[in-house]
Chain A
Amino acid sequence: MPASNKFGITKKQANGIDCFYLEGYLDAHTAPQLESAFQESIDAGNYKILVNFRDLDYISSAGLGVFMAFIEDIRNENGDIKLTSMQDKVFSVFDLLGFPMLFDIEVNEINAIEKFLSKNSNDLSK
């Protein structure tokens, strides 16, 4: 699939977490790219996913739908999709529909990483 110049995903791995950095516009046209990226992580057995929204300027319900499509399976595998660093205009769309009820939305990446790591140590201590 040709990459859209209006949407981009950069992936980095750190501490066993797949971190995705989104930029541009996430709509019905570009959402399939994010879907493939998440699917790749899951296929590789990585269920700890962090999504950094710092450079994302726009999201529609097609974008929100990608998170709904994966969250159940990922949590069933003891993983999570944590969302961080949203601009106000993007957060307002998540908030409008009540997504903070279901998703862990952190102000910055460090908070999200710490939550993933502290969950790991809790698991070990059980």
Chain B
Amino acid sequence: MKLMQLKNSYLKIAMTSVNKHIDNICVKANFSELEKIREFVFSYAEDYYFSEVDAQKITLAVDEACTNLMRYAHNCNFDFSICIDIFISDNEFVVQIIDEGEPFDPLSVESPDMKKYFAEFRKGGLGIHIMRSVMDNIKYQPSQPTERKNILKLTKFLPNS
């Protein structure tokens, strides 16, 4: 019996670590493509039972991540592509964003103290703060010397998980 329980819990752990690939979209690194990205992410977030509010939050986080890539990593060079993959595990909704630009770890940027931000009328830098505020987990893997491929993973726990 104990062995069975152990086996079940092992299976559960194994399952959570397996991400099932759901769909993929690749777009040019151009702000005009943001709408396409948002529609793609929002429809899958809704399919996986997120409330409208949470689906919008996930969509916003992905918009922010892609906007930053388009603005900074590619210097508005529209020949680059950004690819977005959706993965599902039994408790997570994962949006993986792959780009070919200069590596830049968004997690290296500290979230601003918003009281100071407003008092000093600062500009910019809010996208990463939004991503951190609305997602449950963010991971970044810069490209390796052999391949120009930065990977950003934005994770949100599935409802009722």
Contacts and interface: CB of A to CB of B under 8 A. Distances in A.
A27 B64 CA distance: 9
B63 A96 contact: no
B35 A60 contact: no
Contacts, number: 64
A94 B127 CA distance: 12
B64 A61 contact: yes
A71 B127 CA distance: 19
A4 B88 CA distance: 34
Nearest to B32: A29
Interface string B118-153: 100111101101100110000000000000000000
B120 to A, nearest CB: 9
B122 A28 contact: no
A34 interface: no
Find the residue from A28, A65, A72, A97 having the highest chain B CB count within 10 A: A28
B114 A25 contact: no
A126 interface: no
Nearest to B129: A97
Interface of B: 31-32, 34-35, 38, 52-53, 56, 60, 63-64, 67, 70-71, 114-115, 118, 121-124, 126-127, 129-130, 133-134
Interface of A: 6, 25, 27-29, 58, 60-62, 64-65, 68-69, 71-72, 89, 92-93, 96-98, 101-102
